[in-house]
């Protein structure tokens, strides 16, 4: 999972009412968002039962499927009062010796903000990511089904 432009930082990001982007220096995610999304997606897919194993990048296991992605949006929009996330995914099938693209899609999700304080912003952003994970699982299940 790659981080889209500006998403390498761990600071909580919000699109202000004047259109500027605020990256909070004091309110930060425990790990960079793209790393967290990758870890969560890997765990989500492992728990889904769709695959016999879900391995991390760098594994020596020969994989039937390869999933690549980029976290393109991860921000709280104070104008529309939502946490927003977008994830671009590419699923490759390597079972027949040649690589075939099974899925190429960008999913977006939103979750309503309940306030403008950092905890409320973080909750909305986590809600948007959870919805993205649900959609990614459904997309992948349909693609391999």
- pLDDT category at 91 given cuts 50, 70, 90 is very high
Q: What is the pLDDT of residues 33-52, one digit of tens each?
A: 999 999 988 998 899 888 88
Is 0.85 surpassed by the pTM of this model? yes
Mean pLDDT for the stretch of residues 75-84: 96
Domains defined for the chain, CATH in brackets: 2-52+60-144 (3.40.50.10610)
Residue 57, C-beta contacts closer than 8 angstroms, at least 6 positions apart: none
In angstroms, rounded to a whole number, what is the distance separating the alpha carbons of residues 116 and 67? Answer: 34
- pLDDT category at 60 given cuts 50, 70, 90 is confident
């Amino acid at each position: 999972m790659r981080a889209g432009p500006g998403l390498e930082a761990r600071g909580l990001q919000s699109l202000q009412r004047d259109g500027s982007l605020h990256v909070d220096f004091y309110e930060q995610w425990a790990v960079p968002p793209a790393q967290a999304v990758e870890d969560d997606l890997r765990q989500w897919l492992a728990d889904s039962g769709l695959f016999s194993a879900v391995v991390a990048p760098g594994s020596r296991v020969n994989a039937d499927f390869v999933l690549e992605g980029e976290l393109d949006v991860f921000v709280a929009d104070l104008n529309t009062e939502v946490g927003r996330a977008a994830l671009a995914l590419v699923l490759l099938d390597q079972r027949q010796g040649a690589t075939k693209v099974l899925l190429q899609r960008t999913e977006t999700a939103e979750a309503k903000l309940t306030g403008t304080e950092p905890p409320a912003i973080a909750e909305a952003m986590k809600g948007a990511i959870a919805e993205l994970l649900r959609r990614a699982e459904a997309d992948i299940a349909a693609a391999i089904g």
